[in-house]
A = this chain, B = another copy of it.
Amino acid sequence: MFERLKSLWVIGTTVGALAFLVPSFAIAQSDPLPSWNDTAPKAAIVEFVEKVSKEGSPDFVPEPERIAVFDNDGTLWVEHPMYVQLAFALDRVKAEAPGHPEWATTQPFQAVLEGDMKALAAAGEKGLVELIMATHAGMTVTQFQTIVTDWIANARDPRFKKPYTELVYQPMLELLAYLRANGFKTFIVSGGGIEFMRPWTEKVYGVPPEQVVGSSIKTQFAMKDGAPTLFRLPEVNFIDDKAGKPVGIQEHIGRRPIAAFGNSDGDLQMLQWTTLAEGPRFGLIVHHTDAEREYAYDRKSEFGHLDLALDAAAINKWTIVDMKNDWKQIFPGN
């Protein structure tokens, strides 16, 4: 579906050159955002994209400057009942437990192995970092890519019983494709681990590894038995969240984006950095309001906490997507 949509739009943009091949009415009738209801957010997106990509428009932006940044958790895919990467870490603890008999009596590992979510919560951020380091470091970059690829292919979400890569938001897939068809370069800028996302973002979102920005641990290069290796160390390198997001954007992209898409307070500074500047700018927040088809949460949620950024949206005129009212369909497929 996603690839087909993209193809349609690539064809659409070259219709001038290929008019003799494509019946033009097919183009005129195609809707780049079919899963979006005809409410305000869709209109705002289309208006923005058309004005920056139309040569001669006073708001025209040259193609290389059309940089769009997307948060991942809660903006492109589900983040409840917990971040997918946390589910990965918990599964990895279970998978590696046989090699670590000491985990049976050591927190926070014991809590994970016993499914004791209360004890796990009590371990706090320190416990979480321990879990991440124990499951994300101590192997080469290549080995970690294989572990992630295998897990993401086999893991299932507890509520929808589907692979996590099918619990991505269809309207956002259409938005990514629509932006790219109009000369935008799309980047992911996530608080999640950069190497946790890269193995599957190209296939699922059309975003290649070099356009993924995220949190990272340190790596070390060494020659081992004549073969070069990059080894993952149990040490934080960069946290790509909150005030870290503009820093990560500058480090990786080196240009100021003109459009930013997020869903939580972790995206506030990215939205500020993107939109509070001269020229045409676009900011959007996905507001989870659909408990029936997905989830409903904001100011009181632990995962995807949306409070300051919701207030800032009103002040800065960022577009707010009300999932329940603005999206015809949540996930790909029927």
Partner-B contacts on A (CB < 8 A):
64, 67, 141, 185, 194-195, 198, 202, 208-212, 216, 219-223, 226-228, 230, 237, 243-247, 250-255, 269, 272-273, 276-277
Q: Are A253 and B209 in contact (CB under 8 A)?
A: yes
Contact: A194 with B251, CB < 8 Å? Answer: yes
Bound complex: CA A253 to CA B230 (Å): 14
* CB-defined contacts of A209 to chain B, threshold 8 Å: 253-255
Could you tell me the distance between the alpha carbons of A211 and B67 in the complex, rounded to whole angstroms? 13
With A228-B246, A272-B228 known as contacts, the answer to whether A251 contacts B221 (CB < 8 A) is: no
Compute how far the CA of A19 lies from the CA of B297 in the bound complex, rounded to whole angstroms: 57
How long is the Cα–Cα vector from A243 to B302 in the complex, in angstroms?
Answer: 39
- Once bound together, how far apart are the Cα atoms of A272 and B230, in whole Å? 12
Cβ-neighbour of A210 out of B185, B223, B269 (below 8 A): B185
**Which B residues touch A198, using CB under 8 A?**
254
Q: Which of B210, B223, B247 contacts A220 (CB 8 A)?
A: B247
Contact call A254/B212, Cβ cutoff below 8 A: yes
Q: What residues of B have a CB within 8 angstroms of the CB of A211 in the complex?
A: 210
- Shortest C-beta distance, A147 to chain B (Å), equals 16
| Contact, CB under 8 Å: B254 / A194 | yes
Contact A247 B228 (CB under 8 A): no
Given A219-B247, A230-B247, A255:B210 Cβ within 8 A: yes
Q: Are B221 and A273 in contact, with the CB atoms below 8 A?
A: yes
Interface-centre pick from A212, A244, A254 (highest chain B CB count, 10 A): A254
User: Could you tell me the distance between the alpha carbons of A244 and B219 in the complex, rounded to whole angstroms?
Assistant: 9
Q: List 28 A-B contacts (CB under 8 A).
A: A64-B202, A64-B208, A141-B250, A185-B210, A194-B251, A194-B254, A198-B254, A209-B254, A209-B255, A210-B210, A219-B251, A220-B243, A221-B243, A221-B244, A221-B245, A221-B246, A221-B247, A221-B273, A222-B243, A227-B276, A228-B246, A228-B269, A228-B272, A228-B273, A228-B276, A230-B246, A230-B247, A252-B252
Chain B residues closer than 8 Å to A253, beta-carbon distance: 209-210
Q: Which residues of B contact A237 (CB under 8 A)?
A: 251
Q: Which residues of B contact A210 (CB under 8 A)?
A: 67, 185, 210-211, 252-255
Cα(A201)–Cα(B66), bound, Å: 18
CB neighbours of A202 from chain B (8 A):
64
A276 to chain B, nearest CB (A): 5
Give the residues in chain B near A64, CB-CB below 8 Å.
202, 208
Complex partner residue of A219 from B220, B250, B272, CB under 8 angstroms: B250
A128 to chain B, nearest CB (A): 23
Contact B272 A223 (CB under 8 A): yes
